[in-house]
Structure 1
Amino acid sequence: MKHTLKSAVIGAALGLGLCASGSLQAATATAVVTGTVHDALFAVAFDGSNGLAAGAPGTLLETTDGGQKWAPAKNVPTKLALLGVALKGEHAIAVGQQGLILSRSGGEWKKVESGSTERLLSVSVNSKGAAVAVGAFGTVLSSTDGGTSWTAIKPVWDQLAEAGTEPHMYASSIDENGTITIAGEFSLILRRAAGSSEWKSLNKGDASLFALFMGSNGIGYAVGQNGTVLRSDDNGDSWAKVDAGTGAILLGVHASNDGKVVVTGMREMRYSGDSGSTWTGVTGGGVNTLWYQGIGQPEGSTAALAVGQAGRILRIEN
């Protein structure tokens, strides 16, 4: 599907999830925060028990207790939609419409110059302050100072995608060594090794990929259109399709080192307790009537937290 931004997908026709089968125990979701019908949360990030959730209009919520209680961030300098958020140590970054990037310094959120006017859909940062942000029309930006300044590192798309295209990039990850992995249209998953300027193609196909998770145990997941779930067992070097039992539009994914995986989407949420071998649906929390997107897990918690439509934050437990 060419040039379909994730925020546009949210308002598009919904994919229909298939019913779970067998005797698998379903995970359950309960609402922690509920906003108004005009609210939307697109992304969430955790570092330890601290967390950030980002959305529209210009919404940033903060937690310091592992997601039990949330409060609005003070003096957020925008009303534009914030579509991605990252948190690691003292580094906090949010990205959104019109190339908007916010960086938190000394507890205060400030606009920084991104050098782009394209919609930014995802951001990731490591503990050293190295960061990557991606977005519309092949936009890829990098920072080495915690998000204070940014440089364009767009791949040479003619070498990696169909001639004449600049695929939207929806998801990003940067590890502690500075290796960058990004995902987007045409099932593209690309990687740029730390210290290199060369992009390597790791996966290519048809469905757009809207979310990417790279685990510290070397297991990764990417999810997207048509119920697409990809899994990697070798830290992203290779990817294989996984049947999650759904044809829905999938928007977010998180996995814990004990093999629990939660995938969010449009009127659908899937759960696996065995690293993606078997799947069942998540019940409760309006998962079959609303969309949920960003998902993460506070350190020490057994539950994941997902954000989405109507400013909702769900706790997912099994």
Structure 2
Amino acid sequence: MRKTPNHPSRLAGALLLALALPLAAQVEPSGDPATPPGETMSDQDMDGDGAPEEATPAIAANDPSILDAEPMPKAARSLLLDVVRTPAGFFAVGERGHVLGSEDGRNWTQLRVPTRSTLTAVAAYDGVLWAAGHDGVIVHSTDGGQTWTRRRAAPWTLDTVDPSEGVPIMDLLFVDGMNGYAVGAYALMLVTRDGGVTWEPRTVVEPGPVQEEPQVVADEDNWTFDAADLELEAEADPHLNAIARTEDGSLVIVGERGAFFRSTDGGQTWERKRLPYEGSMFGVLSWGDQHLLAFGLRGNVLESHDLGDSWQPVDTGTGTSLMGGQALPEGGAVLVGSNGLVLMRPYAGAPFVEYRYENQAGEAPSLAAVLPDGQDGLVLVGDRGAGLYRPPAVTE
């Protein structure tokens, strides 16, 4: 039987912010449209062009994954987990199906979205938007974020036989307007070739026996741990936390327990490798054809100039986990984490400089994602919502 997403030994590292949250509040149906019991989403839900959404198993009418997100006056101060920029402005996503739009990164408006599941990732290409998260939900906007269509929902049900049901999506990548990838917990990968209307599962990790957790044996009064006890073994179905693409079209994925995958043929086949750090990596950035930067647990950052054949540790000066990041020109980068942590370097090889962000309430939020605002500042999102920050180093 597939492990459920609240398996305690896997939560602590790989999903940290996102999976530590409740999946969604169980609410009674209101006036919101929902799929009646016994029907699939494709029986009812059609977008404006008449194309049916992806067929799914029967979903209860009061399941949060298919209920409209509730308007909340303080949505901009709620937990937000990702942010993206389009010609129409900034879009942030987070708990309870919240999607927020902003022209300037300062003033945010909640948008109507057909799900209450927590959204963990948002992607954009040529003004078209996709967002995804818990319960396997994927929603889609083709009009600059004004209206949204639910394309996929796969919540866990008591009679489920599909191992992907209930599995949260952790990251999205679109390489053009038609071709995209979604990755998530338990080695989940979904691929679309029609702009996100339909999604098909793909295999990244070849099937194999699940490796047992290290065992620790007590010797009477003396508990001891040897090197074998402490070694982290590779998971047979690791959480896939982030996906990126290089300029030559190569794809790379990072995940829990040092998991690293790469594809040089557009995702048709994947090579599994191990990072030199055996903890979880939560994000990966790319420059050019082979330059990569992976970041994650306990402030660990690894850099590669050969598409992951070799890695060098990067000194960050912190033990704080790094949850989000953004590539800057010439190998520069900005990384964010707990307690308002912001790390920046202006170019490849430069040391990271540490800053601490506090919002207007004097709080130092746990930050999940970051994006330059185009005016020497940063748009930050995390457990206290969205905020603007101008690091002293870039102040005019």
> Do they superpose with TM above 0.5?
yes
User: In the alignment, what sits opposite 2:148?
Assistant: 109
User: In the alignment, what sits opposite 1:89?
Assistant: 126
Q: Shift of the alpha carbon at 1:234?
A: 4.0
Instruction: Tell me, yes or no, if structure 1 residue 245 matches structure 2 residue 339.
Output: no
Distance 1:70 1:218 in 2: 37
Distance 1:38 1:63 in 2: 14
The answer to whether the 8 A contact 1:51-1:87 is kept is: no
Distance 1:219 1:302 in 2: 24
Distance 1:150 1:201 in 2: 23
Residue type of the alignment partner of 2:200: T
Q: 2:252 aligns with which of 175, 181, 193?
A: 181
1:163–1:293 Cα change, 3 Å: closer
User: In the alignment, what sits opposite 1:165?
Assistant: 236
Between the aligned residues of both structures, percent identity stands at 25
Q: Shift of the alpha carbon at 1:35?
A: 4.8
The answer to whether the 8 A contact 2:242-2:253 is kept is: yes
Q: 1:297 aligns with which of 367, 372, 375?
A: 372
1:70–1:274 Cα change, 3 Å: same
Instruction: Tell me, yes or no, if structure 1 residue 148 matches structure 2 residue 148.
Output: no
Q: Shift of the alpha carbon at 1:97?
A: 0.7
User: In the alignment, what sits opposite 1:213?
Assistant: 285
Could you say what secondary structure the match of 1:314 adopts? strand
Distance 1:131 1:196 in 2: 10
Q: Alignment length, in residue pairs?
A: 294
Q: Which has the higher strand share?
A: 1
The answer to whether the 8 A contact 1:124-1:172 is kept is: yes
The answer to whether the 8 A contact 2:106-2:388 is kept is: no
User: In the alignment, what sits opposite 1:40?
Assistant: 79
Residue type of the alignment partner of 1:50: G
The alignment's C-alpha RMSD in Å is 3.2
Q: 2:96 aligns with which of 57, 68, 87?
A: 57
Distance 2:77 2:387 in 1: 15
The answer to whether the 8 A contact 1:252-1:293 is kept is: yes
1:71–1:38 Cα change, 3 Å: closer
Q: Shift of the alpha carbon at 1:228?
A: 0.7
Distance 1:53 1:198 in 2: 32
Q: Shift of the alpha carbon at 1:314?
A: 3.1
Q: 1:266 aligns with which of 338, 341, 348?
A: 338
Q: Deviations over 1:210-247 (max 9, x none)?
A: 11222357543211112111123345554321010011
User: In the alignment, what sits opposite 2:47?
Assistant: none
The answer to whether the 8 A contact 1:10-1:266 is kept is: no
Higher relative contact order (CA 8 A, sep 6+): 1
The answer to whether the 8 A contact 1:57-1:80 is kept is: yes
User: In the alignment, what sits opposite 2:137?
Assistant: 100
1:158–1:242 Cα change, 3 Å: farther
1:126–1:301 Cα change, 3 Å: farther
The answer to whether the 8 A contact 2:357-2:389 is kept is: no
The answer to whether the 8 A contact 1:179-1:194 is kept is: yes
User: In the alignment, what sits opposite 2:44?
Assistant: none
Could you say what secondary structure the match of 1:156 adopts? coil
Q: Shift of the alpha carbon at 1:110?
A: 1.0
Which segment drifts farther, 3-12 or 112-121? Answer: 3-12
1:69–1:258 Cα change, 3 Å: farther
The answer to whether the 8 A contact 2:326-2:335 is kept is: yes
User: In the alignment, what sits opposite 1:77?
Assistant: 114
1:262–1:8 Cα change, 3 Å: closer
Instruction: Tell me, yes or no, if structure 1 residue 309 matches structure 2 residue 383.
Output: yes
Residue type of the alignment partner of 2:15: K
TM-score, with structure 2 as normaliser: 0.65
Residue type of the alignment partner of 1:63: S
1:212–1:47 Cα change, 3 Å: farther
The answer to whether the 8 A contact 2:76-2:110 is kept is: no
Q: Shift of the alpha carbon at 1:2?
A: 5.7
Distance 1:91 1:236 in 2: 31
Q: Shift of the alpha carbon at 1:187?
A: 1.9
User: In the alignment, what sits opposite 1:3?
Assistant: 10
Which segment drifts farther, 49-58 or 117-126? Answer: 49-58
1:297–1:130 Cα change, 3 Å: farther
Query: Rg larger in 1 or in 2?
Result: 2
